Amino acid sequence: MTYPDAYIAGVYEHPTRLATDKSVPQLHAEVAAGALADAGLSKRDIDGYFCAGDAPGVGPLSIIEYMGLNVRHADSTDIGGSSPIAHVAYAAQAIAAGKCNVALITTAGRPRAAAEAPGSLTEIPDYPESGFELPYRPSLVAGYAMCAKRHMHEFGTTSAQLAWIKVAASHHAQHNPHALLRKVVTVDDVLGSPMVADPLHRLDCCIMTDGGGAIIVARGEIARALGRPRVRMRGFGESVKYQLGSHIDLTTTAGLKSGRMAYEEAGVGPQDIRYLSTYDSFTITVLLALEDLGFCAKGEGGRFAEDGGLISATGRLAVNTDGGGLCNNHPAHRGGMTKVIEATRQLRGEAHPAVQVRNCDLAMAHGTGGMLDRRHGCATIILERE
């Protein structure tokens, strides 16, 4: 399937990283207004709306009313942090099916101001797996640490190689005035930070921020009339992975399937991708994505990332040039939104000059939602500058 008649027409990332004076609905409304302004559209133009579980209320109903939208199509699919990436494809599909003409996607939250612990999502008694897992009190970071430890055991990956992923993010974040952490760090800085869950140090973990972002996806003739740089969908894939009883695989993610689907649909391969925005809840999340998305062989992710391999202009592949969730922004524990936004900036040529990829015409945004050690979903989109 192709998406010839739907374009990303507007994007907006909220500049705040601590929203003590704003409500979650207000953040949703502010990012929506920002994306509309970027596209040159008004609220009256929106006839489709997409959100996930971070939108307060009953599905999309409350936030649609709060923002005063008049839509004929709404979708509240929630696959965790990868939801906004999937929503871009769902919006394009809805436009192609004639369900709407201009779709709005929003993500927002204030976990930092509310002091919400991201690990709490693993301790909900009503989940069907809870009777088997809650007695052992699994934590989010410990689950990712197991994936990292297993990768080290199987492939010889080192903590220093993981640290290079954080180093690359910090090199990019120094040029982002809104990034929460703008200080450039070294491998020694990462290895010297407190151990959180062996082998992951504090600087191997993403930041927690308030704020959000929004995306406008518009029908072709509408997007062309706006006079803005146009970014279109080339391919999309999504997949779910979980552990099958005693068959436990901690070093492969659902991205192996979602990436293949996106490449097949787009008719391109990893060698054609000029820029990658990928979920970075922890450094190990990036390493596994590099392998599963085909940028290097399984077990080679550490060597691919070390020595500045992910730094724009000098590395093998520019990754997360806004600083990513490791340094810039991880709003509402859902980093997929910022991945699409930065990929769009790169394709438009609007990234910071210090990190802008030359001749960036094909980019990938990849998200992960859930827990890598147990059950998670991945969504992958390939975007092209027209």
Structure token digits, residue 282:
């922890």
pLDDT for residue 115: 86
Reply yes or no on whether the pLDDT at 145 is more than 60.
yes
* Confidence class for position 2, pLDDT limits 50, 70, 90: low
Please say whether the beta carbons of 362 and 274 come within 8 A.
Answer: yes
What is the rounded distance in angstroms from the CA atom of residue 95 to the CA atom of residue 4?
A: 10
Q: Which residue has the higher pLDDT, 247 or 32?
A: 32
Reply yes or no on whether the pLDDT at 331 is more than 60.
yes
For the chain, give the mean pLDDT: 94
Please say whether the beta carbons of 9 and 230 come within 8 A.
Answer: yes
Output the 3-class SS for the chain.
CCCCCEEEEEEEECCCCCCCCCCHHHHHHHHHHHHHHHHCCCHHHCCEEECCCCCCCCCCHHHHHHHCCCCCEEECCCCHHHHHHHHHHHHHHHHHCCCCCEEEEEEEECCCCCCCCHHHHHCCCCCCCHHHHHHHCCCHHHHHHHHHHHHHHHHCCCHHHHHHHHHHHHHHHCCCCCCCCCCCCCHHHHHHCCEEECCEEHHHECCCECEEEEEEEEEHHHHHHHCCCCEEEEEEEEEEEECECCECCCCCCCHHHHHHHHHHHHCCCHHHCCEEEECCCEHHHHHHHHHHCCCCCCCCHHHHHHHHCCCCCCCCCEECCCCHHHHCCCECCCCHHHHHHHHHHHHHCCCCCCCCCCCCCEEEEEEEEECCCCEEEEEEEEEEEC
Nearest alpha carbon to residue 105 among 210, 23, 22, 8: 8
* Confidence class for position 90, pLDDT limits 50, 70, 90: very high
156: left (phi over 0), alpha (psi -120 to 50) or beta: left
Reply yes or no on whether the pLDDT at 120 is more than 70.
no
Reply yes or no on whether the pLDDT at 42 is more than 70.
yes
Domain definitions of the chain by residue range: 6-112+210-226, 138-208+231-385
Residues of the chain with pLDDT > 70: what percent?
A: 97
What's this model's pTM, rounded to 2 decimal places?
0.96
Determine which of 24-38, 135-149, 315-329 has the lowest per-residue pLDDT on average: 135-149
Please say whether the beta carbons of 157 and 302 come within 8 A.
Answer: yes
pLDDT for residue 265: 96
Return the CATH architecture of domain 6-112+210-226: 3-Layer(aba) Sandwich (3.40)
What is the arithmetic mean of pLDDT over 323-337? Answer: 94
What is the arithmetic mean of pLDDT over 76-91? Answer: 95
Shared fold status for 6-112+210-226 and 138-208+231-385: yes
Reply yes or no on whether the pLDDT at 121 is more than 70.
no
Q: Which residue has the higher pLDDT, 184 or 2?
A: 184
pLDDT for residue 26: 98
The residue with tokens 């997949």 is: 239
What is the rounded distance in angstroms from the CA atom of residue 36 to the CA atom of residue 70?
A: 15
What is the arithmetic mean of pLDDT over 67-74? Answer: 97
**CATH class of segment(s) 138-208+231-385:** alpha beta
Per-residue pLDDT reduced to its tens digit, 265-324 = 999 999 999 999 999 999 999 999 999 999 999 999 999 999 999 999 999 999 999 999
pLDDT for residue 132: 81
Per-residue pLDDT reduced to its tens digit, 202-243 = 999 999 999 999 999 999 999 999 999 999 999 999 999 998
